[in-house]
Structure 1
Amino acid sequence: MLVRSRRRIIANYRPLVVAESLVLYGETVVAVGNYEDMKNALAGSDYTELESEYVLAPGFVDAHAHPDSLGYNLVLGGKMETSSVKDVLEKLGESRVVAGWVVPPRIDPSSLREGRMPYYWEIDAYVRDKPVLIQHISGHMASLNSVGIALAREVLGQIRFGDLEKGWLYEEDLWRLLTHIRSSMREPELEEALLLGLREFESKGVTAVGAAGLSFREVEALKRLDKEGKLPIRVYGYVIYTGGPDFDYDYVEKLLYETWGDRSSRFRINGLKVILDGALGPRTAYLSSDYSDEPGRRGFLNYNEEELEKVFAEASRRNLQVAVHVIGDAALEVALRVARRVRDLYLRLEHVSLVRDDQLGYIKELGPVLVVQPHFVISDKWMTQRVGCDRIRWVYRFKELADVAVTAYSTDAPVEPVDPFETVYAAVTRGLYDDVDYARASLRNAVTVAEALAHYTVDAGLALGDPRLGCLLPGCYADIVELSDDPLLQYDPVKVRGLKASVVKLIKGSK
């Protein structure tokens, strides 16, 4: 197929390569160049031609997201827009019941008048006869009612991460409970949720996603969808590490070779996802000193150093990439310290939200791939309050991180919006136009539009271990998007936010 743009084709963002046309063979780019040259080279052969009036570019690659959770969220109705705890509770009657649990869409407590999650007795005043689970937008915390607390104790046994005097459940215990609830979903419901999430990415011009934290059941569902040719975009999966001596490393290793050994597959398993600490919103991220707005609290680790070292050693021995969630600077310190003790480790560090000056050098020395979420800058308007003025310069150091390691952009959706241009806008402006109080003080870590687009394409492909992603050079996947305008010619960063990307369906257009 010969693909031509009446404007231009951005074949690569770093180094910048532009062209008039592409030649494709199947799902692969085989040539890039001048339209007349490409047409002459194809003379006498049987080919189709696709012409576009738009700027063409590589599809976006979201290196860290949760299409499973996004799909579940869409099934439940998306994020709940409310202004108070009372508003949240009054909407429980409209919420979907999943496996007997009342599960409303996620909420953002920073947008509530009370600035917190609901307490169990407040939920009890509205729902007493069914278990209720109200999840924090970050996915790291939830509120339960009395019936929910009793069932959680029954399902989980000992609860390590929670404040049940308020009805709050955190981290690993929350994920175990969610896994139990979702295990009751029928296979068609599970597949519907996964496809909803993946189609949402496709609708925004994302052609590949790193699915960060899949259960084994979700892996099997994605394998079925891939075999049936139903996956709308490429999926690179990371199996969630659930802890303990019985974790099935053998199965993950088998999945690695099985999925990468099939050239036609659009679903591949890369390795493991380890959630080492929590999030800054619910104050569960592990910090080296107290939260500024809650003295005496520093967050916590989900796994100690000894267990993390065992995971790293198993991953290294089996050639598994391991993606480690580290938000707090103390959690990052633990991950870096353990990584220095394990040879040949294929390491990704996720979020890397709070980074001290001394840690930049260690990151450069170890050379992990970093996967960050620039839209956190805009969403986390409370950050100065949370970490204080002395530490605010450690927050979201995207440009400085890119100077020491490969840095890929992502959304962590459904935590942040799926739209790539929202992420690009956040990386470029640092919240300067969005009432972020530390925006001006952090402009040293703002990037250019071109830099942001490279982090969101070629660098994200490297983070997923596949250099054929995020480019339209010979040998790259023919994952093409049409752009509503040329992002590299936008001199007003606010206008970048309004750009749109749509995936080119290669079956259309013929000659």
Structure 2
Amino acid sequence: MLVRSKRRVIANYRPLVVAESIVVHGDEVVAVGKYEDVKRALAGSEYTEVDSEYVLAPGFVDAHAHPDSLGYNLVLGGKMEASSIKDVLERLGESRAIAGWVIPPRLDPSSLREGRMPYYWEIDTYVRDKPVLLQHISGHMASLNSMGLELAREVLGQIKFGDLEKGWIYEEDLWRLLTHIRSSMREPELEEALLLGLREFESKGVTAVGAAGLSRREVEALKRLDEEGKLPIRVYGYVMYTGGPDFDFDYVEKLVNETWKNSSSKFRVNGLKVILDGALGPRTAYLSDDYSDEPGRRGFLNYSEEELEKVFAEASRRSLQVAVHVIGDAALEVALRAARRVRSLRLRLEHVSLVRDDQLRLLGELGPVLVVQPHFVIADKWITQRVGWGRVWWVYRFKELESVAVTAYSTDAPVEPVDPFETVYAAVTRGLYDGVDYARATLRNAVTVAEALAHYTVDAGLALGDPRLGCLLPGCYADIVELSDDPLLQYDPAKVRGLKARVVKLIKGSK
């Protein structure tokens, strides 16, 4: 198949390669070049020709997102728009029940007048006869009502991470509770939620996604969907590490070997995901000094340094990639110390939101892949309150990070918007036009549009262990998108933000 753009084909963002046409065979790009040159080379062959009025480019690769959680959130109604806790609670009656639990879409408390999550007694005022779970947008915290707390104790046995005087639970306790609740979903419901999430990515021009933290049940559902040819985009999974001596590394290793064996598969497992600390929003990210807006609190670790080192050693022995969630600088310190003691470790560090100067050097020495979410800059407008102006220089150091290690872009969706151009805009402007108070002071960490696009394609492919992603060069996947305009020719950041990408549907197998 000969695919031609009447404008241009961006075959690669770094190094920049532009052309007029590409030749696709099956699922792969086999040639790229000038239209007349390619046409002459194909003389005497049977092939289909496709013309496009648009700029053609590689599909976006979201290196770290949660298509499972995005799908669940869409099932529950998508984003919740509210201006106060009263608004939120009045809408609980509209929320869908799962296994008898009232679970509305995730909530961003920074958008509320009160600037916090609801307390349990506030929820009780509206719903007392059913358990309620209202999840923070970060996914690291939730508010429960009285019945929810009672049932949580029954499920968990003991709530280790929580503020029960307010009805809040955090981190591992929340994930275990959600896993228990979702276990009641029938297989077709689970599969439909996963497909909803993946289709949302596809609708924005994302052709591959790193699914960061899958349960065993979700892994098996994705395997079935892949076998049935139902996956709309490529998925690279990371099995959630759940801690303790009984974690099944054999299962993860078997998945990696099985899913990479089939060259036509759209679902592959790369390794495991470890959530070492929390998030800045609920103040559970692990900092080396107190939160500026809550003295005496530094967040916490979900796992000790000793346990993390054992995980690293086991992953290294089995050649598994391990993706470690580190947001606070103290959590990053723990991960770096543990990594220095383990050889041949295929390490990804997720988020790396607060990075001290001394840690930049260590990152350069160890060379992990870094996976960041530029839209956090805009979403976390409150961050100077959390960490203070003295530490704001450590926050979201995208330009400096790319100078020391491979840096891939992603959304962490549903935490941030799926739309890639929202992410590119955030990386380029750092919220300069969106009311971010530290934007101008940290513009040295802004990147160019071209750099952002490379991080969102070729670098994200490297993060997922598949260099065939994010490019349209010979040997790359034929994952093509049409762009509403050429992003490399935009001089107004607002116009970059408004661009659209649409996946090109080729008839696979055409010559």
User: Which TM-score tier does this pair reach, normalised by the shorter chain?
Assistant: over 0.9
Q: Partner residue of 2:290? A: 290
User: 1:163 maps to what in 2?
Assistant: 163
Return the letter of the residue paired with 1:386.
Answer: R
CA-CA distance at 1:493 after TM superposition: 1.2
CA distance in 2 between counterparts of 1:82 and 1:316 reads 46
Counterpart of 2:334 in structure 1 is 334
Q: Does 1:117 align with 2:117?
A: yes
Change (3 A) 1:508 1:176: closer
Q: What 5-or-longer segments of structure 1 have no aligned partner?
A: none
State yes or no: 1:37 paired with 2:37.
yes
Distance 1:263 1:9, change over 3 A: same
Indicate yes or no: 2:198 matched with 1:225.
no
Q: Which amino acid aligns with 2:284?
A: T
For 1:509 and 1:62, locate their aligned partners in 2 and report how far apart those are by CA, in whole Å: 26
Give the counterpart letter for 1:363 in structure 2: L
Match of 1:425 in 2: 425
1:26-85 deviations in Å (ceiling 9; x for gaps)? 010011101111111111111111110000000000000000000000000011110111
Matches within 5 A, 1:443-482: 443-482=443-482
Amino acid at match of 2:70: L
Residue 303 to residue 509, structure 1, CA distance change in 2 (3 Å):
closer
Deviations 1:91-116 (A, max 9, x none): 00000000110000111101111111
Q: Give the drift of 1:509.
A: 13
CA-to-aligned-CA distance 1:229-278 (integer Å, 9 cap, x gap): 00000000000001111111100000000000001100000000000000
Alignment correspondent of 1:506: 506
Within 5 A, what are the aligned runs for 1:44-443?
A: 44-443=44-443
Q: How far is 1:510 from its partner?
A: 8.9
Distance in 1 between the 2:277 and 2:398 partners?
A: 20
Matched residue type, 1:440: R
Matches of 1:313 and 1:167 in 2, distance apart?
Answer: 38
Letter in 2 for 1:325: H
- Tell me, yes or no, if the aligned pair for 1:48 and 1:509 is still in contact at 8 Å: no
Alpha carbons of structure 1 residues 261 and 330: separation in structure 2 relative to 1, 3 Å = same
* Alpha-carbon distance between aligned partners in 1 of 2:422 and 2:94, rounded to the nearest angstrom: 30
Answer with 191-200 or 38-47: which moved more: 38-47
Mapped to 2, the partners of 1:173 and 1:166 lie a distance apart of: 15
8 Å CA contact 1:50, 1:508 repeated in 2 = no
Paired residues of 1:124 and 1:145 also in contact (CA < 8 A): yes
Q: Secondary structure at the match of 2:189?
A: helix
The one-letter amino acid paired with 2:363 is I
Distance 2:70 2:349 in 1: 22
- The superposition leaves residues 120-162 of structure 1 with CA deviations (integer Å, 9 ceiling, x where unpaired) of 0001111111100000000000000011001100000121100
Give the distance between the partners of 2:482 and 2:339, measured in 1 at CA: 41
Letter in 1 for 2:465: G
Give, as a single letter, the amino acid of the residue that structure 1 aligns with 2:359. Answer: Q
Conservation of the 8 A alpha-carbon contact between 2:321 and 2:347 = yes
Matched residues, number: 511
- Determine if contact 2:287/2:299 at 8 Å carries over to the other structure: yes
Instruction: Give SS of 1:12's match.
Output: strand
Q: Distance in 2 between matches of 1:319 and 1:265?
A: 20
1:165-211 deviations in whole A, cap 9, x for unaligned? Answer: 11000001000000000111000000000000000000000000000
User: Does the aligned pair in 2 maintain the 1:50–1:509 contact within 8 Å?
Assistant: no
Percent identical: 88
Shift of 1:507: 2.0
- SS of the residue corresponding to residue 50 of structure 2 reads strand
Q: Distance in 2 between matches of 1:309 and 1:439?
A: 36
**Code of the aligned partner of 2:313:** A
Once residues 419 and 374 of structure 1 are traced to their aligned partners in structure 2, the CA distance between those partners, rounded to angstroms, is 12
Contact 1:322-1:346 at 8 Å conserved across structures = yes
For residues 327-364 of structure 1, the C-alpha deviation after alignment (integer angstroms, 9 at most, x for no partner) is 00000000000000011100000000000000000000
Q: Give the whole-Å Cα distance in 1 for the aligned partners of 2:140 and 2:80.
A: 17
Q: Tell me, what secondary structure is at the counterpart of 1:72?
A: helix
**8 Å contact kept, 1:283–1:299:** yes
C-alpha deviations, 1:405-441, integer Å up to 9, x for none? Answer: 0000000000000000000000000000000000000
Q: Give me the TM-score of the superposition, normalised by structure 2.
A: 0.99
| CA–CA distance in structure 1, aligned partners of residues 435 and 122 of structure 2 | 32
Preserved contact between residue 70 and residue 413 of structure 2 (Cα < 8 Å)? yes
Q: Distance in 1 between matches of 2:366 and 2:508?
A: 46
Aligned amino acid, residue 442 of structure 1: T
CA distance in 2, matches of 1:180, 1:217: 11
Answer whether contact 1:49 1:509 (CA < 8 A) is retained.
no
> Does 322-331 or 41-50 show the bigger shift?
41-50
The code of the aligned residue for 2:478 comes to A
Helix, strand or coil at the partner of 1:125: helix
Mean Cα deviation higher: 159-168 or 323-332: 159-168
Give 1:280 shift: 0.1
C-alpha separation between the residues in 1 aligned to 2:277 and 2:227? 35
Q: Report the AA paired with residue 188 of structure 1.
A: P
- Please tell me whether residue 3 in structure 1 is matched to residue 22 in structure 2: no
Question: C-alpha separation between the residues in 2 aligned to 1:148 and 1:307?
Answer: 31
Separation in 2, partners of 1:178, 1:325: 19
Q: What SS is found at the alignment partner of 2:126?
A: coil
The alignment yields a C-alpha RMSD, in angstroms, of: 1.0
C-alpha displacement at 1:508, in angstroms?
9.4
In 2, the alpha carbon distance for the partners of 1:400 and 1:300 equals: 26
